[in-house]
Amino acid sequence: MVQHETSSPSPATGAAEPLAQPGNAWIARASSPVQTATSGPLAGLSFAAKDNIDAAGFATTAACPAFAYQPAQNASVVQRLLDAGAALHGKTNLDQFACGLNGTRSPYGPVPNAIDPAYVSGGSSSGSAYVVATGQVDFALGTDTAGSGRVPAGLNNIVGIKPSKGLISTHGVVPAAQSVDCVSIFARTVDVAARVLAVAQGYDAQDPYARRLPMATTPLPAAFRFGVPAPLEFHGDALAADAFAQAIERLRAQGGTPVEIDYAPLAGAAALLYESALVAERYAAVRPFVDAHADQIVEPVRGILLAGKGYSAADLVDAQTQLRAFGQQAAALWDGIDVLLVPTAPTHYTVAQMLADPVVLNRNLGAYTNFVNLLDYAAISVPSSLRPDGLPFGITLIGPCGSDWQLADLGQRYHHATGLALGATGAPLPPPAPIAALRPAATVDVVVVGAHLSGLPLNGQLTERGAVLLRAGETVPDYRLFALPGTVPPKPGLLRVAPGQGARIAVEVWRMPATAYGSFVALIPPPLGIGTLQLADGSALQGFVCEPLALEGAQDITHFGGWRAFLQARATAT
C-alpha cells in the first residue's frame, strides 16, 4: 500500500500537477489514497501528514531513519480527518525531530521553496507546506512548537493555522517540546484550513496537554486595534520591510488602527526557547533515542538536543519563572490591542546561505514566531504580497488563546484583499466563505444628529466603543432642530412635531457592539436622551432626542437642514 520515497516522488493520485519540481517534499506516498469514509464535511479533500504524526500503514520517521517505527494506529487528528471523509496521500519531509525553521535539516534532503527552489521552504513542516503550495494536496498537517506551522506558510504563499494549544490532540505525534506543541494546518485558503480545524479540534484525554477551551465565537470589532512591534528587525532586507509597511496599510483599510507596542517582553520569551533550560524539553521528548543513537542525528539538531542534558531541574524552574514574568509583562499589551500583527518571517534565505550558517539564520527566521506558543497565543499566517523579486511575503495575526475563529475571519478578509494567486499554482482565490464557528456579534444601530457626527467633538465616544459609520441619511419631515444654549461642546436638540410642521434633518447611522451600548447611553446628559427616530428610508432606529421644555427660547435652526450645515454657516458668518 505504501511506497517509501526519498526524492522526486510523483504527484498524488488525483491531485493537480505541481508547477515546480517536487524536490524532497515527500518521505512516503500511498500507492492509492487512504480513506475510511466517503462522506463527511471533508469529503473530496486530499491531505498529507508531516512525518512526525502517526498514520497506520506508514512508518513514522521524524526524518530520522534509525528512529523509524510502525504505528499500530493513526494519530487522533489523522483519524478525525479520515472519519470526516478526507483522503490521506502520504507523509512529508521535515526538519529532523521537528527541530528547525528552515527545511534543510533532514537526511532526506532539503525541501525547496515552492516559488523559487533556490530558497528554503521554511520548517520544520517544510514538506507539508510544499505539497500544499504546489497543489499536490488540498491541505496538510504540520506541527508548530516555535513557528513550524507559520514560517513555511509565509515563505510559500499559503495559509498556516497555529491553533491554541490543546485544541487539537497531539496524541500520536512525536513531541518536540510537548508542553508547547501544536498540530498545525496548511491550506491554500483560510476557508479550507478553517473547515479542517473545525473537524480536527476536540478534547482528547489521551493527550496530557489537551484542554477544553472557551472559544470566542463573535468576530473582532469592525473597528479594531492591531499591535505593531517596535523595533522591527528585517536583517537588512529592505523588500521585506516595504512589504510589511504595505501590510500595515492593508490592515488599516480593513478597519484596523495600528498601535505601536514594546516587543521586548515577547522577544525575551522567545529567547528562552533555545537559550535557557527550556531546551531540556527538546531533549526529554526523545531522550532514550538520543542517549543511545546520538550519532544518527543530523547537526545542528544533535547539538540542540544534547544541550538539553546540561541543565538541572532548578535551572528549568528558573527558566519557567522567567517565562511567566515575560508573560505577565506581555499580558498588559492586550489592554490596548485586539490582535497583534507581525511578519511571518523577517527575510528569505537561500538553501546555500542556510547550510553555510544554519544556527544564526534559522534563529532569524523565528524572530516573530518563537514566543507565541510559550505565551499561549493563537495565530494564523496568511499571504500578504509577492515582493518585486518574486518571493512571497506573509503576515501573522496573533491573538489570545481561544481567538482562533476570530483570527481566521480577519485572516480570510486580509488574504482576499491581496488578490494573490493560490500558493505556487497560479490559480485565483475563490470567493471567501463564512467562518462557520462564528456567529455575528449583537449590535445596535444609533442615529446621531449633532456633536457625535463624524469629525465633530464627541464622535470619539462612538469610535472608542468600536462603532462604525453605516450611512448618512435624513429623518422624515416631521422634526425640528434647535441649538441648545450653554452646552459644551455645542449640541443641538431634535424634536418630533406634527406632520407638516417640520423638515428633514441630516443624520448619521452608526453601528456599535451591543455590549458597548449601555456605557454610551450613560454619557448622554439631560435634556438629551435616546428615543425612536423615523428615517426617510423607512427605518425606525434608536437616536438622540430632546426634552421639549429644554427648547423654550432655544434658536430654531431647522431651516439649515442639519447640525453640520448650521456650524458651517456660523463659521462663515464669523
CA dihedral over 419, 425, 428, 430, signed as positive or negative: negative
Strand order from edge to edge, sheet including 46-50: 2-4, 26-34, 87-92, 46-50, 139-144, 182-187, 159-162, 377-386, 392-400, 339-343, 224-230, 256-262
Query: Tell me, which fold does domain 443-573 have in CATH?
Result: Hypothetical upf0131 protein ytfp (3.10.490)
Asked whether 182 and 401 are in contact (CB, 8 A), the reply is: no
Predicted confidence at residue 353, as pLDDT, reads: 98
Query: Tell me, which fold does domain 2-418 have in CATH?
Result: Amidase signature (AS) enzymes (3.90.1300)
Query: What residue spans define the domains of the chain?
Result: 2-418, 443-573
169 is catalytic: no
Question: Strand, helix or coil at 279?
Answer: helix
Predicted confidence at residue 12, as pLDDT, reads: 34
Q: By mean pLDDT, which of 17-26, 47-56, 289-298, 464-473 is the weakest?
A: 17-26
Q: Which listed residue (76, 124, 128, 403) is catalytic? A: 124
pLDDT tens-digit map of 35-45: 999 999 999 99
The residue among 158, 376, 269 whose CA lies nearest residue 149 is 158
106 is catalytic: no
Q: Which listed residue (126, 148, 164, 381) is catalytic? A: 148
> pTM of whole model > 0.75?
yes
Q: Which cell goes with 379?
A: 495565530
How far apart are the C-alpha atoms of 100 and 112, rounded to whole Å? Answer: 15
What is the 3-state composition of the chain as percent helix, strand, coil, each rounded to the nearest 5? Answer: 30, 25, 45
The residue among 203, 183, 206 whose CA lies nearest residue 52 is 183
pLDDT tens-digit map of 389-433: 999 999 999 999 999 999 999 999 999 999 999 999 999 999 999
Predicted confidence at residue 574, as pLDDT, reads: 73
Predicted confidence at residue 23, as pLDDT, reads: 58
Q: Is residue 148 very low, low, confident or very high in pLDDT (cuts 50, 70, 90)?
A: very high
First to last CA, the chain: 88
Q: Which listed residue (46, 50, 165, 169) is catalytic? A: 50
148 is catalytic: yes
Q: Is residue 385 very low, low, confident or very high in pLDDT (cuts 50, 70, 90)?
A: very high
Percent of the chain past pLDDT 70, that is, above it, reads 96
